[in-house]
């Protein structure tokens, strides 16, 4: 079974036993360092488009028990992350205001034809969830891995094709400038094939 501690040793404390939650619930905060975040989001062989954390940030979690085999996890964090723009390849910062909930169910509750994997959403479209709805994930071994939950949620939040002009992008839209410069250069450059069409 995949564990977030396989990405970085800092995530070892992010695995919470369901016994710790109890009937009173559990509140905790975890500091995510730049090094541990970058290790969890590193794309093998494609570091240019790997998501990176700009500054260390704190993530707040609230865990509550619905029953013996179902727990609700709520998380809040403000993260500033960075990735290269797919158009101009310049680094772009994005602001992520995370505020999400997920219901984690024990994997033994699945039917015989279902497998939890390591943990997965069962919603076809997470964006369609209302504030009162939670995505659903699964855990095994009476341990809820908050690192894996956070990693999955961030992948859902960041754009698939990050650009300078993406909605959550911070700073100036570099691509507009690059596009304008390219357009100017192309309009002033003479077409080398025009001379073959000219008549004397």
Report H helices in the chain.
18-21, 34-40, 146-157, 174-188, 194-197
Is 54:87 a contact under the CB 8 Å cutoff?
A: no
Per-residue pLDDT tens for 53-65?
999 999 999 999 9
Q: Is 148 or 68 the better-scoring residue by pLDDT?
A: 148
Per-residue pLDDT tens for 71-110?
999 999 999 999 999 989 999 999 999 999 999 999 865 5
Q: Which residues pair with 92 in a beta bridge?
A: 83
């Amino acid at each position: 079974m995949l564990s977030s501690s396989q990405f970085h040793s800092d995530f070892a404390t992010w695995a919470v036993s369901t016994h710790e939650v109890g009937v009173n619930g559990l509140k905790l905060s975890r500091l995510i360092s730049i090094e541990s975040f970058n290790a969890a989001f590193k794309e093998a062989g494609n570091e240019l488009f790997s998501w990176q954390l700009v500054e260390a940030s704190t993530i707040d979690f609230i865990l509550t028990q619905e029953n013996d085999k179902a727990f609700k996890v709520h998380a809040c964090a403000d993260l500033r992350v960075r990735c290269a723009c797919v158009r101009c390849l310049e680094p772009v910062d994005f602001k992520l205001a995370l505020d999400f909930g997920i219901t984690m169910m024990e994997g033994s509750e699945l039917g015989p034809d279902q497998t939890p994997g390591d943990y997965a959403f069962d919603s076809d479209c997470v964006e369609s969830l209302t504030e009162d709805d939670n995505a659903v994930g699964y855990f095994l071994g009476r341990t809820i891995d908050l690192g894996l939950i956070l990693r999955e949620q961030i992948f859902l939040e960041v754009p698939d094709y990050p650009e300078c002009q993406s909605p959550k992008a911070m700073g100036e839209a570099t691509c507009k400038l690059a596009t304008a410069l390219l357009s100017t250069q192309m309009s002033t450059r003479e077409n080398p094939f025009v001379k073959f069409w000219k008549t004397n």
